[in-house]
Amino acid sequence: MRFKKAALFLSIASCFVSFAEAQTNNQGSKLNENATLNELINYALSNKIELKQATIDKEIGEREIASALSGWFPQINATGSLVHNIQLPTTVISGQTITMGQKNTSGLTIQADQQIISPQLFQASRAAKFIRQQNNLNIESTRISTVVDVSKAYYDILTSEESIKIINENIVRLKRQYSEANSRYEVGLVDKTDYKRAQISLNNSNAQLKSAHESRQYKYDYLKMLLGMNTSEPLSLSFVNQALEQNILLDTTELLDIANRVEYKQIQTLKEIQKLNTQYQKWNFLPTLGAYANYGLNYRDDKFSKLYSDNFPNSSVGLSLKLPIFTGTKRIQELRKSELQEERIEWDLKNLENKISTEYSAAMASYRANMNEWRNSKANMELSEEVYNTIKLQYDAGVKTYLELMTAETDLKTSQLNYLNALYAVLSSKLDIQKALGTVNITN
């Protein structure tokens, strides 16, 4: 009885342990609240659908390699038969017709074949390394795109959040200015034009705020898609300690090394595979050699009930050699085609080098132009703040008109939004340069 109680206790305890482990694993697969950029990238590298597909493609590739190399193992087959002759075959011997065979026959043959010389297996053995390399490069390419896309989406959302803050601050100022203009109108200091203009500006800012909220929602949904999350799942981001201005700097003296690009490595791998295919076409001129061994069970009798009462076995071993002599020039044509495909890949490689160089040049030009725009936007934002503060004081003192205050307010908001857009453009173009250089960090 005590043993049963102890067993029951251990069973319940193991269930709780299993449940706790499952909960821990489920929690580990979830994204924390107020996720940082690094957490988003790590989550995407583990959960993005395209990466899961690329991983499955790699596993499929391993199965294909194993399937191709399985031809080196002995191939064992069994063949069975059961025949009832309605009419027995006959033959003529010395002018007499003689019936041959028996009405019921049955047999079972087991044969093992072993390839010794096989061009197809030679090619599969040498290509396995490059196929694995190609699958790994496909995963690396997807990881690079994931890091770049998630980073851009994060910065885009951060820009939207800051833009919404600016619009909200603008609305607060406009509400205050509307109240002040309305009060002045009521006491007869100004006509109703000022507070009507304030009302128009306030309405426009409220509409702009609503559009910004809608745009932000789409950007969150787009980021969820990049992360491999359902759009209905909650997602909150942390923008604490995001010193974006410190992240925009880049060493523009770093030289482009095309060999660092994953696309270059992919074509180089494809080139090696094509070289093997050319070699395979040459191997097709060689004979194929294999060994075999078989053992057969043979049964025959006129009465079906006695068919398996006696066995007449047979067995043999031997070598099989196949030497292709003339195939209608097919081997020559296939060899020439493979050589041409190899030459075409060389041109693909050259074309890729030109594209990468152009891509790098465009990314660098965009980065430098965006840096100039950012510096100009930052200077304009600081000037706009100074001008607005000055005109606000002068308006309160009755020196400046309300129209001049509204103009300064519009300039301030525009310069702040331009600054944010320029900052995002710099960060985005920096990522493009890192991608062009092949220096994107994809470690998880």
Summarize pLDDT for 31-70 with one digit per residue, the tens. Answer: 888 888 899 999 999 999 999 999 999 999 999 999 999 9
Is residue 74 one of the residues assigned to a domain?
A: no
DSSP-derived letter for residue 228 is: T
Q: Residues 142, 143, 148, CA angle at the centre, nearest 5°? A: 100
Instruction: Read off the amino acid at residue 51.
Output: L
Is residue 419 one of the residues assigned to a domain?
A: yes
CATH at residue 377: 1.20.1600.10
Is residue 23 one of the residues assigned to a domain?
A: no
Q: What is the DSSP string of 37-65?
A: HHHHHHHHHHH-HHHHHHHHHHHHHHHHH
pLDDT, tens digit (0-9, with 9 covering 90-100), for 276-294: 999 999 999 989 999 999 9
- The continuous run of DSSP H or E covering 216 comes out as helix 193-227
Is residue 36 one of the residues assigned to a domain?
A: no
Count the domains in the chain: 1
pLDDT at 5 (0 to 100): 40
With the C-alpha atoms ordered 429, 431, 432, 433, is the resulting torsion angle positive or negative?
positive
What are the residue ranges in the chain where pLDDT is below 50? 1-28
Is residue 422 one of the residues assigned to a domain?
A: yes
Is residue 55 one of the residues assigned to a domain?
A: no
pLDDT at 242 (0 to 100): 61
Is residue 91 one of the residues assigned to a domain?
A: no
Instruction: Read off the amino acid at residue 392.
Output: K
pLDDT at 136 (0 to 100): 96
Provide the domain limits for residue 171: 118-287+329-444
pLDDT at 357 (0 to 100): 95
Instruction: Read off the amino acid at residue 301.
Output: D
Asked if residues 231 and 221 have their Cβ atoms less than 8 Å apart, the reply is yes
What pTM was computed for the model?
0.81
pLDDT at 180 (0 to 100): 81
Angle between helices 402-437 and 330-396 (to 10 degrees): 160
pLDDT at 32 (0 to 100): 80
Beta carbons within 8 Å of 437's beta carbon, 6+ residues apart: 254, 256, 257, 260, 360
pLDDT at 23 (0 to 100): 41
Alpha-carbon gap, residue 52 to 207, rounded angstroms = 41
Is residue 340 one of the residues assigned to a domain?
A: yes
Alpha-carbon gap, residue 315 to 293, rounded angstroms = 8
Angle between helices 119-186 and 49-69 (to 10 degrees): 180
